[in-house]
Amino acid sequence: MNRKLKEKSLIEFWNNNRKKILVWSGIAGTVALTILGVKHYRDNPTFESLLQKSSLQELKDLRNTIHSKYMSHTSNDECRESLWNCLPKIDNRIREIEWAGKTPIGPSYHREHGKNLYKPD
């Protein structure tokens, strides 16, 4: 008897407060997903932030690994394309570190195929 009364009161409570319960559960779910999303974003850095934090030797090793994976034909085309798109980003970051803000200065030679094709005589 007591159990039936509890079930009946729960059903009445649900019918009377259905909208409030759904709104608050939606808000709680949204807050929980936002917190988990922010935590996931902080724990999993993006590729660009990984490039910024890596040392020169790590970047060279990463480039060799990605290039060898790209050259092995075991990967599917989508994977190879994404690897190919990563290589210029790594090359640019390596170039930034190696040159460290300096601009290359060299003599201006005019060769048979164009200017500035440096070839010491």
**Same-domain pairing of 23 and 55:** no
Same domain, 55 and 70: yes
| Statement: residue 82 has pLDDT above 60 | yes
- Rounded to an integer, the average pLDDT of 70-77 is 80
Q: Count each helix (H run) and each strand (E run) in the chain, helices first.
A: 4, 2
pLDDT, residue 80, reads 85
Which pLDDT score, from 0 to 100, does residue 99 have? 84
Structural domain containing residue 7: 1-44
When computed from its CA atoms, the radius of gyration of the chain, rounded to whole angstroms, is 30
Instruction: Identify whether 108 is part of a domain.
Output: no
Residue 18 lies in a domain: yes
Same-domain status, 39 and 6: yes
> What is this structure's pTM?
0.50
The CA-CA-CA angle for residues 72, 78, 80, to 5°, reads: 30
Residues 64 and 26 in one domain: no
> Is residue 16 situated within a structural domain?
yes
Q: What integer is the mean pLDDT of 109-115?
A: 61
91 within a domain of the structure (yes/no)? yes
Number of residues assigned to the chain: 121
Judge whether 7 lies within some domain: yes
119 in any annotated domain: no
Is residue 51 located within the same domain as residue 79?
Answer: yes
Domain count, the chain: 2
56 and 39, same structural domain? no
For 24-67, how does the pLDDT look when each residue is reduced to its tens digit (9 = 90+)? 888 888 877 777 776 655 555 677 878 888 889 999 998 998 88
